[in-house]
Amino acid sequence: MKLSLKKVNRLLLYLLGMTAALVLLYFLDTRWTVMVDTKTVVVAAKQLLPHEPITEDDLMIVRIKEDYVISGAIPAEDAHFLVGQEALQLIEAGDQMTDNRVDKTSLLSVPGATVVELPDDWILSVPGSLRRLDRITIFAVPSNEEKVNTETGASEPLLSQAEKVAEDIVVAYYKDAGSNEVKNAEENVNPNVRVDATVRGRKLELQLTPDQLKQLSEKAASGYQFIVGYGS
């Protein structure tokens, strides 16, 4: 049975319409959805350790669905702001970069500040878990007023008289007597978890303004020693 020219044209029109619909659906799925339902963000191109400087080669721009974009993710256009900053925590390859994962206030960001090593006789106590870039609070304790520990018989400072003299101070370095930096002893664990240190800390280097250094110097000259604490 032969088809009439009218039916042939109708069939061709139908096939053309179906083809156009399929092409449109393909475009919406592969092109339009990508443009509308996704965002370009910055991710780590490789694993970054805490305090490791960030370079251009450490970053990648990727497009991902909006549902998978985490809060605070750095958009592609702001990637250049990350270069030169330091990772504040362990960042795995492919992790989205956020403000709270990088050091936004790098060392010596305060005008006129400098890195100063505190003399040994100034320091009474420092946490063994202290690490570089920690922010610390410094308490002054009168070193010439002591009490006797009833169990050991040893003299101890009167901690009840501790006075907060500085806070939010950046630790530039925490080193041993041989100037080796104190780090986590186990390299195969998450560096964000404080574990046994590689060395016993002895030298504490801080970022201080002239006024802060003067205040600590005057306290030390007046017979005070310092207790260091960190954390919020």
For the chain, the domains span: 1-36, 38-101, 114-230
Tokens of 183: 């780090």
CA dihedral 209, 211, 215, 217 (to 10 degrees): 70
Q: What is the pLDDT of residues 201-221, one digit of tens each?
A: 889 999 899 999 999 999 999
CA atoms within 13 A on the CB side of 79: 17
pLDDT of residue 104: 60
pLDDT of residue 98: 86
Q: Beta-carbon neighbour count of residue 206 at 10 Å?
A: 23
Tell me the average pLDDT across 222-227. 92
Residues 6+ apart with CB under 8 A from 49: 87, 90, 191
Separation between Cα atoms, residue 22 and residue 32, nearest integer Å: 14
pLDDT of residue 106 exceeding 70, the answer is no
DSSP state of 225: E
pLDDT of residue 49 exceeding 80, the answer is yes
Cβ–Cβ < 8 Å for 27, 15 = no
Per mean pLDDT, which range of 27-31, 125-129, 133-137, 174-178 is the poorest? Answer: 27-31
Collapsing DSSP to helix, strand or coil, 202 comes out as: coil
Residues present in the chain in total? 232
> pLDDT-based confidence at 154, cuts 50/70/90?
low
Return the CATH class of domain 38-101. Answer: alpha beta
Separation between Cα atoms, residue 72 and residue 75, nearest integer Å: 9
pLDDT of residue 110: 63
Token pair 């919406």: residue: 28
DSSP code string of 59-92: EEEEEEEGGGPPTTBPBGGGGGGTTT-BBSS-B-
